[in-house]
Amino acid sequence: MFNRNEIFETISMIEQENLDIRTITMGISLRDCASESSLNSRRRIYEKITRYAEKLVRTGEDIEREFGIPIINKRISVTPISMVAESSDELDYARFAETLDQAAKAVGVNFIGGFSALVHKGYTKGDRALVRALPEALANTERVCASVNVATTKAGINMDAVRDMGLTIREAARLTADRGAIACAKLVVFANVPEDNPFMAGAFHGVGEPECVINVGVSGPGVVANAVKRTKGADFGVVSEAIKKTAFKITRMGQLVAQEASQRLNVPFGIVDLSLAPTPAVGDSVAYILEAMGLEKCGGPGTTAALALLNDAVKKGGVMASSYVGGLSGAFIPVSEDAGMIAAVQCGALTLEKLEAMTCVCSVGLDMIAVPGDTSAATISAIIADEVAIGMVNQKTTAVRLIPAPGTVVGDVVEFGGLLGSGPVMKVNPFSAEEFIARGGRIPAPLHSLKN
Amino acid sequence: MRAVITVLGCDRVGIIAGVTAVLAESGTNILDISQTLMGEIFTMIMMVDATVDCRELQEKLSAKGKELGVEIRLQREDIFQSMHRI
């Protein structure tokens, strides 16, 4: 029998500190859905997704009820569509996005990721068609998420793709100007993208993955923040220990849910992603953890060091609690999805440049950041270039999800709704990178990529 | 299925009787039970071995909880096991 404190600790983590399983994501390979005929290919895709994921949502709900732990999202990731659609006669890949959207609706998942392309060294025919279709695909669908990997430590940075992504983001914003440029919130530009990430919008089912797999993303910034608060005045060794213990407990729960889902769906268990993913709910904020360590506001001096400690302790605590760890695994700092980050931006404590520095020590990058509507494509590309350079050189994943909502200026707030929250429009450095971005070509891989 | 039942709420006559009656009706065996008052708050933890469907028992308990003005949760034991035992 468990003692009273243990039982009530678990219940209070769930009820008062917003502990939840953020997502159960089913990865499905669509490699066998390619066809010369676009219609056939799309039919196969729809049929396969709806067959494999038929019981995903219900199974998630059953586990949620039986264990009494909320499972916020049930989602699907698929093989990058640029690869699946490439051999078809389709000219407009937005139609593949529509098929994914229909399949997602049919099985009741709120997001489906994998309208993606990996172009870190260059474009294939399919990659080019996919990138061209991105703005329309994201504007015309509700649940489809897209990602483009433009850099790796091994390959360097594809600056042509970086330039194209600046233009793509601008166009996606224009097409959804009436909806807070929501299309941009569903598009992530990556360096060193992981192939088993369960979190949206960057999830896709990598080519080295099995036929079908269950990946689970845990969460719990609120639980960690309270654990840190209880260490008030103690030194950092104590803080780190407190975070590790909490991360261990959270991850054990993730592992349990992952195994249970895998068994019930008869699909192999892939990984648990040890990320602290904030939500707009009060108390569910990564910024508040940093502030609980003694910072007046997230973004002030000391923030990067605090985040480095947090990120490291979460991994150290979590890694022992799961048999397979993967995905992004770290602390997320999406501005619009974190009440503490929003407040820090609004009071002037947190700037874009500080966020960039913070991404050097955590996952995942400049995430869910609203920038003024008149930010040029070249400036967006240059921000992407800076961020992926950090990923390339530091051999880590970095990503950019910027939202240049048309008509907005610094100080406005863009509403996305739901888990995506609302983003205060942040100031962007006004100096031009036009000529720099116009060069194109590739930035070579760093020396330390030559490991063999 | 082994599960943990927790009951929280204002103390009053008949909480244990009400909850155990539901369990007896559904053929659920109580393995362990501990009850205490934290100030005015009644708290009870039970370890049970249920033979009926989890959803059915949860629904019956939560209906009884409403009647008694207390909150009743039933969660599978595994969640506590995984969090607190290595």
Instruction: Give residue A292's pLDDT.
Output: 96
Q: Which of A238-242, A289-293, B2-6, B52-56 has the lowest mean pLDDT?
A: B52-56
Cα(A388)–Cα(A376) distance, rounded to whole angstroms? 19
Residues from chain A that touch B47, judged by Cβ atoms under 8 A, are 1
Put simply, whether A4 touches B (Cβ < 8 Å) is yes
Give the number of other CB atoms < 10 A from CB of residue A47.
Answer: 12
Q: Which residue of B has its CA nearest to A7?
A: B80
Is the ipTM value over 0.90, yes or no? no
Residues from chain B that touch A259, judged by Cβ atoms under 8 A, are none
Q: How close, in Å, is residue B80 to chain A by CA atoms?
A: 7
pLDDT along chain A (452 residues), means of 10: 86 87 96 97 98 97 94 96 96 98 97 98 97 98 98 98 98 96 96 95 96 94 94 96 94 94 97 90 90 97 97 94 91 92 96 96 90 97 98 96 96 87 94 97 95 86
For domain A23-191, give the CATH number: 3.20.70.20
- Matching residue, tokens 């970095």: A398
Nearest to A2 among B43, B76, B84 (CB): B84
Nearest to A2 among B55, B58, B80 (CB): B80
Residues from chain B that touch A6, judged by Cβ atoms under 8 A, are 80, 83-84
Q: Which CATH number fits domain A217-438: 3.30.43.10, 3.20.70.20, 3.30.1120.10, 3.90.950.20?
A: 3.20.70.20
Q: Report yes or no: A84 and A31 within 8 Å, Cβ to Cβ.
A: yes
Q: What angle do CA A324, A326, A327 make, to 5 degrees?
A: 150
Give the number of other CB atoms < 10 A from CB of residue A29.
Answer: 19
What is the band of B17 on the pLDDT scale with cuts at 50, 70, 90? very high
Contact B45 A252 (CB under 8 A): no
- Three-state SS annotation for A140-197: HCCCEEEEEEEEECCCEEEHHHHHHHHHHHHHHHHHCHHHCCHHHHCEEEEECCCCCC
- As a whole number, mean pLDDT of residues B18-43 equals 91
Residues from chain A that touch B54, judged by Cβ atoms under 8 A, are 65-66
Cα(A156)–Cα(A182) distance, rounded to whole angstroms? 30
Cα(B25)–Cα(B28) distance, rounded to whole angstroms? 8
Put simply, whether A252 touches B (Cβ < 8 Å) is yes
Residues A236-279: tens digit of each pLDDT: 999 999 999 999 999 999 999 999 999 999 999 999 998 888 98
Count contacts between A and B (CB, < 8 Å).
56
Put simply, whether A411 touches B (Cβ < 8 Å) is no
Which one, of A421, A243, A425, lies nearest residue A339 by Cα? A421
A280: its two tokens = 């707009």
Contact A253 B83 (CB under 8 A): yes
| Sequence spans of domains, chain A | 23-191, 217-438
Contact A68 B75 (CB under 8 A): yes
Question: Do the first three CATH levels of A23-191 and A217-438 match, i.e. the same topology?
Answer: yes
A351 CB contacts (<8 Å, ≥6 apart)? A299, A426, A427
Q: Which residue of B has its CA nearest to A247?
A: B83
Put simply, whether A65 touches B (Cβ < 8 Å) is yes
Instruction: Give residue A220's pLDDT.
Output: 87
Nearest to A65 among B6, B47, B58 (CB): B58
Residues from chain B that touch A7, judged by Cβ atoms under 8 A, are 4, 6, 45, 80
Which of the two residues, B71 and A418, has the higher pLDDT score? B71
All structural domains of chain B, each given as residue ranges with its CATH number in brackets, are 2-84 (3.30.70.260)
